[in-house]
């Protein structure tokens, strides 16, 4: 597979020779595999210069990988696949494994580094690593990066569930989670303690076509009159003409926040949003939204409407560029028109709160019985926890265009 292991014999990793664990433990856990892909280039683009985006250091990505590995090992995962890079993340993980305290860190799983033939420093590294991890039998793959990282990996993974963790810039799709908690959720899914049907949600995606080009967007697609891709990032709203969103959350950053102010649409909603933008012309209304870190912009709106699953929209802009998830990717012209289709067949995404809630409800992380229950012989209690209602609904109070006269 183009991989190498940290230990020649599995029993040298510090886990018992059986690969199992007395508690907690699930049948077949020792055969469970988690993949971890850490993109060393995420959080380093031009928005550090044109905006005030933070820099996510690779040293912290190394620490996140180590926390993911520790959680996975403690919950019985037998093997973890780790991506390789030339920026020090995988090297830092390897050094930590070599320096570990054999007694204190005895629950570490077997580590296997997925070494590519050539590292390009581009999205191709993410794609190839994701494909190799899927072929190697990863039950769950954790992705450390931004929207672009997840977008590169998703088409390679089929129905292998992912845990997207934010370490990028405009992170509308991956979210910020403590790596220990994320690793615990990934492990519970990988070992089969929480089933895929309960633990995952199928994401929506936007499929873009222009001539022979095909692109996938996880969050939004924006049509701009700018003729060239250039530095890729978008921050001048005067050139923007059309915006399509798979989901639009009011608390998000990026272009989807514009649609969210008009027509909030959760990830779970069976549809998206389409917005016609005024650019530098007259508008029906103006929306102020955080389109980039440190950048609030007033964006002119002409029209907003729901976008149904399977609905195909043909752009009316004759020439320009297409940005997917905030980065310009495609240059188009009248002989290569652009179409955008909302699809319900995106990647399977592990719902971390749902997994950890299942663990709590079913006592998956509790060993033995509570003293009172053991003495009385009563069955373990079933917890009743109120589920907070959604703070917004896409159709309840704000129909499409309802705030834009």
Q: Which residue has the higher pLDDT, 106 or 322?
A: 322
Q: Which residue has the tokens 């939204």?
A: 289
Residue 17, pLDDT above cutoff 60: no
> How much helix, strand and coil, in percent to the nearest 5, is found in the chain?
25, 25, 45
Question: pLDDT tens-digit profile of 201-251?
Answer: 999 999 999 999 999 999 999 999 988 875 556 668 999 999 999 999 999
Contacts for 268 with CB less than 8 Å, ≥ 6 apart: 201
Encode burial over 178-210: b for 16+ CB neighbours within 10 A, e otherwise: ebeebbbbbbbbbbebbeeeebbeebbbbbbbb
333 vs 335: CA distance, rounded Å: 5
* Mean per-residue pLDDT, 365-372: 68
- Structural domains present in the chain: 3-17+29-203+347-361 (3.40.50), 205-343 (2.60.200)
Lowest pLDDT segment from 45-59, 103-117, 370-384: 370-384
Confidence category of residue 29, pLDDT binned at 50, 70, 90: confident
Counting Cα atoms < 13 Å in the Cβ hemisphere of 62 gives: 16
Burial of 237 (0-12, 13-18, 19+ CB in 10 A): buried
pLDDT at 395: 44
Is the pLDDT assigned to residue 100 strictly greater than 60? yes
**Measured CA distances, 323 to 25, 89, 107, 249, 331 (Å):** 46, 29, 44, 19, 9
| Rg of the chain in Å (alpha carbons) | 23
Question: How many CB atoms within 10 Å of residue 294?
Answer: 12
User: How far is it, in rounded angstroms, from Cα 353 to Cα 360?
Assistant: 10
- Looking at per-residue pLDDT, the higher value among 123 and 373 belongs to 123
Are 263 and 398 in contact, with CB atoms under 8 Å apart? yes
∠ at Cα 147 (141, 152), nearest 5°? 60
Which pLDDT score, from 0 to 100, does residue 6 have?
53
**Whole-angstrom distance, CA of residue 296 vs CA of residue 43:** 19
The pTM of the full predicted model, rounded to 2 decimals, is 0.84
Q: How confident is the model at residue 400 (pLDDT cuts 50, 70, 90)?
A: low
Residues sharing a CB contact under 8 Å with residue 88, sequence separation 6 or more, in sequence order? 40, 58, 59, 62
Short-list 404, 49, 56, CA closest to 235: 49
The predicted model gives 98-104 an average pLDDT of: 73
Q: Measuring CA to CA, which residue among 137, 111, 106 is closest to residue 17?
A: 106
């Amino acid at each position: 597979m183009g991989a190498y292991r940290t230990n020649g014999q599995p029993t040298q990793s510090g886990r018992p020779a059986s690969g199992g664990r007395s508690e907690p433990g699930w049948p077949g856990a020792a055969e469970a595999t988690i993949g971890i892909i850490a993109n060393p280039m995420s959080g380093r683009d031009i928005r550090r210069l044109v905006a005030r985006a933070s820099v996510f250091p690779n040293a912290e990505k190394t620490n996140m990988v180590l926390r993911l590995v520790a959680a996975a090992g403690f919950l019985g995962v037998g093997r973890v696949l780790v991506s390789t890079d030339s920026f020090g993340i995988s090297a830092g993980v390897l050094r930590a494994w070599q320096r570990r305290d054999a007694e204190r860190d005895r629950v570490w799983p077997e580590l296997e580094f997925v070494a590519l033939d050539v590292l390009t420093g581009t999205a191709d590294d993410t794609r190839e690593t994701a494909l190799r991890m899927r072929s190697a039998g990863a039950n769950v793959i954790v992705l450390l990066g931004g929207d672009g990282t997840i977008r590169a990996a998703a088409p390679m993974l089929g129905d292998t569930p992912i845990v997207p963790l934010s370490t990028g810039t405009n992170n509308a799709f991956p979210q910020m989670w403590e790596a220990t908690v994320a690793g615990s959720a990934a492990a519970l899914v990988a070992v089969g303690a929480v089933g895929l049907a309960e633990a995952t949600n199928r994401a929506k995606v936007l499929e873009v076509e222009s001539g022979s080009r095909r692109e996938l967007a996880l969050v939004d697609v924006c049509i701009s009159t700018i003729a060239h891709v250039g530095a890729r990032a978008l921050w001048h709203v005067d050139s923007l003409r059309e915006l399509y969103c798979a989901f639009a959350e009011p608390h998000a950053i990026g272009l989807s926040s514009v649609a969210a102010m008009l027509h909030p649409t959760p990830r779970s909603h069976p549809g998206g949003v389409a917005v016609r933008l005024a650019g530098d012309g007259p508008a029906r209304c103006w929306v102020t939204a955080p389109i980039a870190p440190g950048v609030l912009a007033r964006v002119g709106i002409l029209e907003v409407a729901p976008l149904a699953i399977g609905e195909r929209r043909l752009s009316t802009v004759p020439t320009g560029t297409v940005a997917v998830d905030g980065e310009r990717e495609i240059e188009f012209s009248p002989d290569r028109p652009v179409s955008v289709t909302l699809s319900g067949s995106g990647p399977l995404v592990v719902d971390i709160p749902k997994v950890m809630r299942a663990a709590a409800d079913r006592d998956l992380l509790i060993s033995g019985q509570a003293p009172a229950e053991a003495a009385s012989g009563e069955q373990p209690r079933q917890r009743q926890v109120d589920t907070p209602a959604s703070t917004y609904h896409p159709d309840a109070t704000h129909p499409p265009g309802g705030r834009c006269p």
